[in-house]
Amino acid sequence: MKNNPCINIPVSRPAVGKEELLKVKEVFATGWLGMGSVVFKFEEELKKILNTKYVIAVNTGTSALHISLDSLGLKPQDEVIVPSLTFVASLQAIVQCRARPVFCDVYEDTLNMDVEDASRKVTKKTRVIMPVHYSGLPCMMHEIIAIAKNKGITIVEDAAHAFGSYYDGKKIGSIGDITCFSFDPIKNITCGEGGAVSTNNKVIADKIINKRVLGINKDTWHRYKNRRTWQYEVNMSGFRYHMSNINAAIGLEQLKKMDKFIERKRKIVRQYDEAFKNIGGLEPVRRDYETTAPFNYIIKVKNGRDRLMEFLKTFGIETGIHYIPNHLQPFFAKYKVKLPATEKVFKEMLTLPLYYDMSETDVLFVIEKVKTFFKK
């Protein structure tokens, strides 16, 4: 078989077009490219969609996680319980706050936080539990909230995959203490780059609002605006994490398309599920597509995962592995623990192509080639 190094079907791709370009052009015409009215409009739209009191737009999903944890005033040796099977951004946000990540396992069928394992790892030092809604499927939030209740533990949801998903009739973003979203190029909607924090807690929201612009107090900024335009007050540590009007303009147009994005991806994953359900040695990760906005599509290959990757690559089909467990990474070696389910699924998991603009021909081609591999 002749190898084809050219990828014709990527594992993911953003869906942006002339509408987003027009909105960016409008921002350019105003001359105000940084944070301004377009960002505030984007935040208002997100509040309506998520049904939450406060939304703070930031420049990346990683910034959303970091600034949220920082707003809690974590101290060295404070512990944050987090699944190892997540993008490294979750872990970097924790260690940047000088806190200690405590790795927990995942369920093999969903790849979401193992609630029983998380509960076993709660100590007097536990300050935060960080559930990761893997691939858009919400974690068991009622159980996680029950663990945290009355113990002074804050729930910071990593919802980078889960914008548009529901849990128990409520949008992800309106349930835990703090929820963090990512709007990078391949997420359920994109701002080009961007993220957001949602919360119903005014104290936390006010801290994050100030921290995203270098700790500058927004009230004093406005207070002096009409008299001494150079005057401002810095009342806390902060970062340059604010979103720009350019990115918010893209996001506003993406919000208009969100429902059709979700429905198209749901159709594709259902096709995959139906096609693969009777293939021995292959198991799709379990999802509830009535409530989940799918981010990516994961299968577990019992034997020959790497051979399947290479086989699909010869036909121009890109695949991926999401993710290398963080407890196996050199930088986090001192926090390493045994996580049997995580280590097992890491050897089996494979991400197949899934994106809004994926054609029916491409979907059927991926299905055909996966089936061909397992017939060999």
Is 170 designated active site?
no
Helix count and strand count (H, E) for the chain: 12, 12
List the one residue out of 29, 53, 41, 90 whose CA is nearest residue 243.
41
Residues in the chain: 376
User: Which residue in the list 23, 171, 187, 265 is annotated as catalytic?
Assistant: 187
Structure tokens at 251: 């996001």
- In the block, tokens 């260690």 appear at 95
Decide: 218 and 54 in contact? Cβ < 8 Å. Answer: no
User: Is residue 357 a contact partner of residue 15, using CB atoms and an 8 Å limit?
Assistant: yes
- CA 17/CA 323 separation, integer angstroms: 29
**Are the C-beta atoms of 151 and 127 separated by less than 8 Å?**
no
Task: Please name the residue that has the structure tokens 């910034």.
Answer: 63
**Spatial separation of the C-alpha atoms in residues 326 and 332, rounded to whole Å:** 7
Instruction: Specify the residue for token string 């139906």.
Output: 274
**By the 8 A CB rule, do 292 and 134 touch?**
no
Q: Would strands 297-301 and 349-352 be described as parallel, antiparallel, or unpaired?
A: antiparallel
Q: 116: Cβ–Cβ under 8 A, 6 or more apart, which residues? A: none
Burial of 249 (0-12, 13-18, 19+ CB in 10 A): buried
d(CA 300, CA 345): 7
95 burial level (CB within 10 Å; 0-12, 13-18, 19+): middle
Q: Which of 235, 223, 184, 234 is nearest to 64 (CA)?
A: 184
Quick one: which of 117, 138, 122 has its CA closest to 80? 122
Which two tokens mark 191?
A: 């701002």
The residues annotated as belonging to the active site are: 187
